[in-house]
Structure 1
Amino acid sequence: MTASRVLTAAVLATFAGSLCTPGTVAAQPSPAGPSCPALWVLGVQGTSESSPGASATTDTGMLGHLLGPVSAVAPNLLARTYIQYPASFGGAPGTGAGTDPYTVSANTGLNALLAASEDIATSCPATSQAVVGYSQGAQVASGFAQIVGAGGGPVAPERVAAVALYSDPDRAPGSPVIAGRPGQLTPDPAPGTAGAAVSQIALSTAVASGGGIATTSGVDFGALTGRVADICVEGDLSCAAPDRAVLLRVAAQLAAQADLRDPIAAINSVQGLLSGALGDAWTTVVLNDFQIGPGSVAYVPAASLAQRLTDAADSRTPAPGPNETSAAEARWAQITATVAANPLTTLPSLAGSLSAAWGQLVTDNADLIDPSVWLRYSDIPARHTGYAVNGQLASGVAWLTALAHDLAGSQS
């Protein structure tokens, strides 16, 4: 299989694979007990598993296998709400009825999650919250945790007892199970509790290699560090993509913004996005990575070409504005004029620097052509959709249940 075919298959498998989740869990009744329970859990489903009109309390999809059992065990201690959002992927075949690009869908989900959290914080200020997300929903939940952890969310960090991320595309490379806490297996207790029940929990999932397909550096959960679990299994390309596979991440970022409803629309959409990303990357390189002196030009990169490409393809990175584009054009004219005027002194060192940068870019994609690496991804759909059947959700059930008991005990 050629590298391009591997890349295409990998990207589609990563994002479309969430459709193959285990069967629907039998619907649970709405939570019983007081209107303001000890713990309120917000669930964000994966691609195709939700919609703007989805039920907020019916246990379907991947997270139904998590929240259904928790609700059955502790019905009087917690409530659950599934976030209604498109959960779409550009209308690609097999990804549900929604046509919004992945990035638009995820942003809609984040806004819906923030709004739901704010409603709970307003109506039940003494209730602690937990957030769980799977795949696209994990990226939404991760965004929520970053905002709240930085003190900018609708709920105070001390009111968020837990965040559980399953198959998070934003997972930091080599992230431990408790994000930011290498070697720690027991989550920190909910603020305001002694954590007696939580102290008996161990999230013993093995640490997967690589990192999320949507990031090269991961994220910071701030004040929530210690209460965020990043669950990922080896071979799940969404959260454990190879380290040296920049073009895979660039392709994934572009696909996440594309119109994929049919082959023609997909080709045109991706072509336009790729052209824009390359132009944005070049503008950034010209403005930041070349130094011009009297009769000299040097390429001294503040970031690698791989990072420039990845950032430019990421919809979360602001694109250069007209002023920056004009400045880059003027600067490039200055660079070419300087080189033309002093070719013997400028070209050798400049060529050497650019050659080294290109060589590094090749190295940064070495995993794409390494057969031994791709053996880890021989069964991507099963790895991506197996969190219920392989027992990964069981520890989440135990964790949320323990939190509910600890929180209820602290209120008695």
Structure 2
Amino acid sequence: MTASRVLTAAVLATLAGSLCSPGTGVAQPSPAGRSCPALWVLGVQGTSESSPGASETADSGMLGQLLGPVQAAAPNLVAHTYIGYPASFGGAVGTGGGTDPYVVSAGAGLAGLTDTAGQIAAECPGTALAAVGYSQGAQVVSSFAQAVGAGEGPVDPGRVAGIALFSDPQRAPGSPVIPGRPGQLTPDPAPGTSGAAVSQVAITTAPASGSGIATTSGVDFGALTGRVADICVEGDLSCSAPDRAALLRMSAQLAAQADLRDPIAALGSMQALLASTLGDAWTTVVLNDFQIGPASVDYVPAVSLAQRLTDAADSRTPAPGPADNAAASAKWAQVTAVVAANPFTQLPNLAARLSEAWGQLVADNADLLDPAVLLRYADTSSRHTSYHSTGQLASSVAWLTALAYDLAGSYQ
């Protein structure tokens, strides 16, 4: 098949997919019993778009508009499977019927994706894998890809042909569309292929500002770098949250762990989580940021107060244990004793240091007080759901189709 025919087929399949709204479901044949294809794509849907018993093959939700056209463009070369998982957000109104907190839901999605990828890799040793995710599903796929890229996943990195993320809550600050490859528009070829078909693909979505709402540390895809596309629409709060909005990120981390089924449950859950977060942050600050000399005490933060709060709110950060809490109490008693022994010398210095920290905390949240920034997110909900309607899926349809032809060796 010629280059023009491959890409034309992908584009036509994309246009055909646009006739189906994201909420419709079109059943695909079950992959059970099918011979192993050149490429097997695993999809993880967004919040409210899946459930533990969801169909593995019905093309619905945002990703149905991506994988349906890919299957149509290369029916004999591709299989695709959706990972059923809660896709819930604590039971909050408008987030589907599930009541599991977001972090529990995403954890279940990651476990399902990991198990399915390992099973397919074992049953089809000649088949390459790809994974795509949208919104909560993108966070699941991002975590999977980072583990695989670090050599800690269920499959060897060489088995993964490509990863496509849409509205990724873990998107790195200022990430280019191909993370780790600023300015690169064409993904790297699948391992072991010439990349002839993939070389004809360009992912031209403009890089968005900001970062994912759940991003608190570095994002590294390791050996998969170059084969990951992280596509984010400007103004989508999920993946393009403002840089200076630490309290927003902290609140998002708390909400992801909360019971949000009704206002009473939400208030109680958030209050308990906030109290725990503040306590954990204070313990970490005392242990790491206060320095005690023979007759002096100083506050020298290793990281900002905003980072301490955000880290403490993140369920992925190990909470201080009883020994840490005891050590913090003992150290604070030392701080108090040193200050009490010479208050006229110690207090002015500490006050100045803490004032600087407070000023930095205000600066780290400056975007929350900027009307121009807030205006950029006025229609964030519509932007979050616009990836199909604005054509952001089309390049990934072409990319996954091209991967299949390269892997099958049928691109001419």
Which whole-Å deviations, capped at 9, do the CAs of 1:162-191 have from their partners, x for residues lacking one?
000000000001100001111111000000
- Give me the whole-angstrom Cα distance separating, in 2, the residues matched to 1:33 and 1:401: 22
Query: Which residue of the partner structure matches residue 320 of structure 2?
Result: 320
Query: Once the 2 structures are TM-superposed, how far is the Cα of residue 351 of structure 1 from its aligned partner?
Result: 1.1
Q: Counterparts of 1:98-117 in structure 2 under 5 Å?
A: 98-117=98-117
- Is the Cα–Cα contact under 8 Å of residues 55 and 82 in structure 2 kept in the other structure? yes
Which amino acid is the alignment partner of residue 355 of structure 2?
S
Query: Which residue of the partner structure matches residue 18 of structure 1?
Result: none
TM-score scaled to structure 1, two decimals? 0.93
Q: Counterparts of 1:210-221 in structure 2 under 5 Å?
A: 210-221=210-221
Query: Which residue of the partner structure matches residue 235 of structure 1?
Result: 235
Which whole-Å deviations, capped at 9, do the CAs of 1:73-124 have from their partners, x for residues lacking one?
1111011000011000101111111110000000010011000000011101
Query: Which residue of the partner structure matches residue 63 of structure 2?
Result: 63
- Give me the whole-angstrom Cα distance separating, in 1, the residues matched to 2:97 and 2:107: 18
Query: Which residue of the partner structure matches residue 399 of structure 2?
Result: 399
- Give me the whole-angstrom Cα distance separating, in 1, the residues matched to 2:23 and 2:141: 23
- Give me the whole-angstrom Cα distance separating, in 2, the residues matched to 1:405 and 1:30: 21
- Give me the whole-angstrom Cα distance separating, in 2, the residues matched to 1:315 and 1:217: 13
- Give me the whole-angstrom Cα distance separating, in 1, the residues matched to 2:310 and 2:347: 28
Query: Which residue of the partner structure matches residue 178 of structure 1?
Result: 178
Could you say what secondary structure the match of 1:142 adopts?
helix
Query: Once the 2 structures are TM-superposed, how far is the Cα of residue 28 of structure 1 from its aligned partner?
Result: 3.1
Which amino acid is the alignment partner of residue 382 of structure 2?
A
Which amino acid is the alignment partner of residue 249 of structure 1?
R
Could you say what secondary structure the match of 1:392 adopts?
coil
- Give me the whole-angstrom Cα distance separating, in 2, the residues matched to 1:231 and 1:185: 12
Query: Once the 2 structures are TM-superposed, how far is the Cα of residue 411 of structure 1 from its aligned partner?
Result: 11
Which amino acid is the alignment partner of residue 295 of structure 1?
A
Name the Cα RMSD after superposition: 1.5
- 1:387 and 2:387 are equivalent in the alignment: yes
Query: Once the 2 structures are TM-superposed, how far is the Cα of residue 217 of structure 1 from its aligned partner?
Result: 3.8
Query: Which residue of the partner structure matches residue 167 of structure 1?
Result: 167
Determine what percentage of the aligned residue pairs are the same residue.
76
- Give me the whole-angstrom Cα distance separating, in 2, the residues matched to 1:102 and 1:23: 21
Which whole-Å deviations, capped at 9, do the CAs of 1:238-268 have from their partners, x for residues lacking one?
0000000000000000000000000000000
Query: Which residue of the partner structure matches residue 29 of structure 1?
Result: 29
Could you say what secondary structure the match of 1:273 adopts?
helix
* Structure 1 residues 411 and 324: CA distance shift in structure 2, 3 A: farther
- Give me the whole-angstrom Cα distance separating, in 2, the residues matched to 1:221 and 1:50: 26
Query: Which residue of the partner structure matches residue 305 of structure 1?
Result: 305
Query: Once the 2 structures are TM-superposed, how far is the Cα of residue 34 of structure 1 from its aligned partner?
Result: 5.0
Unaligned runs of 5+ in 1: 1-20
Query: Which residue of the partner structure matches residue 225 of structure 1?
Result: 225
Query: Once the 2 structures are TM-superposed, how far is the Cα of residue 344 of structure 1 from its aligned partner?
Result: 1.8
* Structure 1 residues 410 and 337: CA distance shift in structure 2, 3 A: farther
Query: Once the 2 structures are TM-superposed, how far is the Cα of residue 350 of structure 1 from its aligned partner?
Result: 1.3
Query: Which residue of the partner structure matches residue 355 of structure 2?
Result: 355
Query: Which residue of the partner structure matches residue 13 of structure 2?
Result: none
- Is the Cα–Cα contact under 8 Å of residues 89 and 105 in structure 1 kept in the other structure? yes
Query: Once the 2 structures are TM-superposed, how far is the Cα of residue 156 of structure 1 from its aligned partner?
Result: 0.3
Query: Once the 2 structures are TM-superposed, how far is the Cα of residue 32 of structure 1 from its aligned partner?
Result: 9.8
- 1:270 and 2:270 are equivalent in the alignment: yes
* Structure 1 residues 168 and 40: CA distance shift in structure 2, 3 A: same
* Structure 1 residues 370 and 104: CA distance shift in structure 2, 3 A: same
- Give me the whole-angstrom Cα distance separating, in 1, the residues matched to 2:251 and 2:260: 13
Unaligned runs of 5+ in 2: 1-20
- Give me the whole-angstrom Cα distance separating, in 1, the residues matched to 2:330 and 2:60: 56
Query: Which residue of the partner structure matches residue 256 of structure 2?
Result: 256
Could you say what secondary structure the match of 2:333 adopts?
helix
- Give me the whole-angstrom Cα distance separating, in 2, the residues matched to 1:291 and 1:339: 12
Q: Counterparts of 1:147-158 in structure 2 under 5 Å?
A: 147-158=147-158
- Give me the whole-angstrom Cα distance separating, in 2, the residues matched to 1:66 and 1:411: 21
Could you say what secondary structure the match of 1:368 adopts?
helix
Which amino acid is the alignment partner of residue 249 of structure 2?
R
- 1:335 and 2:335 are equivalent in the alignment: yes
Which whole-Å deviations, capped at 9, do the CAs of 1:120-159 have from their partners, x for residues lacking one?
1110111100000000000000000010000011100010
Query: Which residue of the partner structure matches residue 41 of structure 1?
Result: 41
**Displacement over 6 Å in runs of 4+:** none
Could you say what secondary structure the match of 1:109 adopts?
helix
- Is the Cα–Cα contact under 8 Å of residues 196 and 411 in structure 2 kept in the other structure? no
